[in-house]
Structure 1
Amino acid sequence: MAPSPMPQLDPSKLKAFSNAAAGHDGVLSDPSGELLIKPCVDAEINFYQETLAKHPDFAELMPTYMGTLSLGAPKVPSDAHKPELSQQEKDQARLHGVKIASETAIVLENLEHGFKCPNVLDLKLGSMLYDPATTEPEKAARLDKVSQESTSGSLNFRVAGMKVWSPTKQDFDIYDKFYGRKFSAENVSEAYETFFAALFSSDIKGDDAVQLLETILAEVTKARHILEKAQSRMYSASVLIVCEGDTTALNSLLGAVGPSVPSGDERAPTAKELKRAEAEEEEDEEAEPVAFKVKMIDFAHAKWTEDGGRDENTIKGLKNVEQLLDGLIGKFD
């Protein structure tokens, strides 16, 4: 599987992407909002490229990868001339992590593009959050503490970030990484209920809500099944769920009916008309809004191995994500 065609991008026209539910600062977007430009380390580029070449089934679970873009060498001031961080910059680093100092970025599809009000849930997978072979002891100790004090340790996943559309405020409620760390295995289902609150609205039919949740569940299960047949290590990877948060828009998507069937006495279309209709249908498919997306993301510490066996660290997390989704479906009985 080859990367999708790389679009022409003017680095001077890129803008900061401020809609992420989690992740590092420094992510950019193109003017259309269709693409994300994410500063990254070589390991993540290599993982995308190897996955496209050798693991096409898993590549379908990843955001569409289009290549890399040079951003220019990052400006790193000397300690003597290093400016004092503003409180806003300190808060940003605290919530999203420091900006990756890299002159290279990967160009990916923006998974939020095409939604009216995209709710986003980032679930960080695994109880072991770092590669023990490459992580410094101080950082390892800090991540071990995060795991032990959160559902990462008990369920092999935790809520890393979330944003949910509020119809009352007409804006998003933002839930940062500290929100996710407060949950235990016994009450983390509350985060699911908050994220999928639109499905419990009187505007959404119960059967439609169940069908949507079951489809999302099936996508998570697909990811687990693929990893159960592979040899890999995906430390600190996430499963990202994007769902339409506007109930009117969501209801129209869930209740959409297929195209009407022409009556028997209609004139058969010519070959030229058929070709034009097919082209229009392809354009419509590209622009058609969707109710949800489920993708695996964050591969800075991911690799395919030849003799490492299954990645039980990640697989267990996916199983528990499935179990919580199944419990949410049960609330509609």
Structure 2
Amino acid sequence: MVIMNNAQLQGQDYDSIYPPDGVSLQPFLHQVSGRAIMMCLNETTVCKPLNFREYYFYQSLPTDILQYTPQYKGVVNVNIEETKDGTIALTAFPSHNDENDQIDKKEENSQLSLSKITTTNKNNKNVSNDSCKRLITQVHSAGERSSRKRIRLKRTGSLCIERSDGSLDNDIEKSTQKPRFNPWTLKVYKEGLTRHLHSTNKVVQKCILLENVASRFKCPCILDLKMGTRVHGDFDDDAKRQRHLEKCAKSTTQSLGVRLAGMQVYRHESGTFLCRNKYFGRSLTVEGFGKTLREFFYNGYKMRIDLIQPIINNLRSLIKKLNKLPSYRFYSSSLLVMYDGMSEDVQNCGSDKISEKSNKDFSTKASDQDETLSSREDDDNIQSTENEEIVSGSESVDVRMIDFAKSTHGNMDASIIHKGPDKGYIFGLESLIEVLNNIIIEDLQ
């Protein structure tokens, strides 16, 4: 991590200390899980703090699963500082080649055998700093012509929106009743930036750029699932390993190989998102997990049963691909299942004929189950044919693997090489398919 000179940052205007190629970052407003701050470089690119292992894993992804992972776009430096008006500015700059060659590895495990890493994914391997710089330059140029509002965090921890005239709207958190803000996003954003502010040094955080897989959806309904029967990594210490084992034993991770890490569903009747977080997910039984997945496909008017089979097809295709990857382990990674809550067919659903069973099942539950964003402030309560050519980003749904900070394969760790495919992850996919099939069957009865 590169340390900036504090004297350089104090008492200066936000725009004056940056070279002209910097890009102001915005929060990714549809983050449903995770502790790392996710920021948007532009509408199609997110920025995530660099984890050494994940950085190299993205560069060694096998081509077989590229369609089920976000596109890797390179590395940037992100300046974090407080401005004169008391808000926090995050600005991305291109990372230079010599900096990437010296990525700090002192906190990483020495077992990571970088010299052995081979990259079958030529697209990720060939992502250059020049291409990353071109992307930032393009975003910077577009930003000069953009009237998009910026979200700012104050030292007090409150969030505000910068209006087009430069003034600040301090009522952003009151607007969590609106569909665009997820409480988990605000929680992670505030806590993460507050930690940086309490640091004695103002830092430049290295981040990786990834495809924003939710960008094509107007109102993204997102299911974040922690996959596999094991969450701890090969090199976690004994205390951390024990904590993860206890969490797995008390949740559906052990019984199903999958647990809910986060969720948001757009509800048409209220124009809000129903949100669930990881604490809610850990409390679910097998039966509760099934009911929550059913809830994920309910839009306030009807069940979106039409989306389930395309998702199952993707999951079956992914199983086939993972079975061909010996030594790969995706410990603690997540699977995102997404669809658009504002698709054309849903917009017209008010005049559609709604199945009596779906309407009956959910109309009585709405009052006690549907909790909108404004009521999710407490962390403890918040929250069939198979086709090998199936494309993950189909028209109606998308399925993606994310979060590879504890993932590994035979060419990364010489001391621990796992045999065969990741059976725990595959078991989780099979369990998920069974739960989804049960939802289809129940709707037909």
Would the TM-score normalized by the shorter structure come out above 0.5? yes
Shift of 1:61: 0.9
Given that residues 233 and 305 in structure 1 are in contact (C-alpha distance below 8 angstroms), is that contact kept between their aligned partners in structure 2?
no
User: Which residue in the other structure is 2:3 paired with?
Assistant: none
Find the residue that maps to 2:275 and give its secondary structure.
strand
Shift of 1:167: 2.0
What is the rounded CA distance, in whole Å, between the counterparts of 2:156 and 2:408 in structure 1? 37
Q: Which amino acid aligns with 2:66?
A: A
The RMSD of aligned alpha carbons is 3.3
Given that residues 115 and 289 in structure 1 are in contact (C-alpha distance below 8 angstroms), is that contact kept between their aligned partners in structure 2?
no
What is the rounded CA distance, in whole Å, between the counterparts of 1:150 and 1:10 in structure 2? 47
Distance 1:305 1:297, change over 3 A: same
Shift of 1:158: 0.2
Deviations 1:69-97 (A, max 9, x none): 1225999xxxxxxxxx97889x9699759
Given that residues 257 and 431 in structure 2 are in contact (C-alpha distance below 8 angstroms), is that contact kept between their aligned partners in structure 1?
yes
What is the rounded CA distance, in whole Å, between the counterparts of 2:260 and 2:313 in structure 1? 20
Find the residue that maps to 2:430 and give its secondary structure.
helix
User: Which residue in the other structure is 2:334 paired with?
Assistant: 238
Shift of 1:47: 0.8
Distance 1:143 1:10, change over 3 A: farther
Shift of 1:12: 3.9
Deviations 1:267-309 (A, max 9, x none): xxxxxxxxxxxxxxxxxxxxx9942211111111112226522
Given that residues 210 and 329 in structure 1 are in contact (C-alpha distance below 8 angstroms), is that contact kept between their aligned partners in structure 2?
yes
Shift of 1:225: 1.3
Distance 1:96 1:141, change over 3 A: farther
Find the residue that maps to 2:263 and give its secondary structure.
strand
Aligned counterpart for 1:224 among listed residues 302, 319, 332: 319
Aligned counterpart for 1:166 among listed residues 258, 267, 274: 267
Distance 1:10 1:224, change over 3 A: farther
Distance 1:111 1:330, change over 3 A: same
Deviations 1:55-114 (A, max 9, x none): 111111101221221225999xxxxxxxxx97889x969975975998221211111112
Distance 1:213 1:92, change over 3 A: closer
Distance 1:177 1:96, change over 3 A: farther
User: Which residue in the other structure is 2:354 paired with?
Assistant: none
What is the rounded CA distance, in whole Å, between the counterparts of 2:293 and 2:340 in structure 1? 15
Q: Which amino acid aligns with 1:319?
A: E
* Structure 2 residue 407 is matched with structure 1 residue 302: yes
Q: How many residues align?
A: 270
User: Which residue in the other structure is 1:119 paired with?
Assistant: 221
Q: Which amino acid aligns with 1:58?
A: I
User: Which residue in the other structure is 1:147 paired with?
Assistant: 248
Aligned counterpart for 1:128 among listed residues 230, 244, 247: 230
Find the residue that maps to 1:216 and give its secondary structure.
helix
Q: How does 1:1-333 map to 2 (within 5 A)?
A: 11-30=22-41, 32-51=42-61, 55-72=62-79, 99=192, 103-131=205-233, 133-198=234-299, 201-202=301-302, 209-231=304-326, 232-246=328-342, 248-250=344-346, 290-305=395-410, 307-308=417-418, 309-333=420-444
Find the residue that maps to 1:319 and give its secondary structure.
helix
What is the rounded CA distance, in whole Å, between the counterparts of 1:247 and 1:223 in structure 2? 25
Q: Which amino acid aligns with 2:34?
A: G
Shift of 1:169: 2.7
TM-score, normalised by the number of residues in structure 2? 0.55
Shift of 1:39: 0.8
Which structure 1 residue ranges, 4+ long, deviate > 3 Å from structure 2? 9-12, 72-75, 85-89, 91-102, 247-253
Find the residue that maps to 1:303 and give its secondary structure.
coil
What is the rounded CA distance, in whole Å, between the counterparts of 1:68 and 1:252 in structure 2? 42
Distance 1:201 1:93, change over 3 A: closer
Given that residues 114 and 290 in structure 1 are in contact (C-alpha distance below 8 angstroms), is that contact kept between their aligned partners in structure 2?
no
Distance 1:118 1:73, change over 3 A: closer
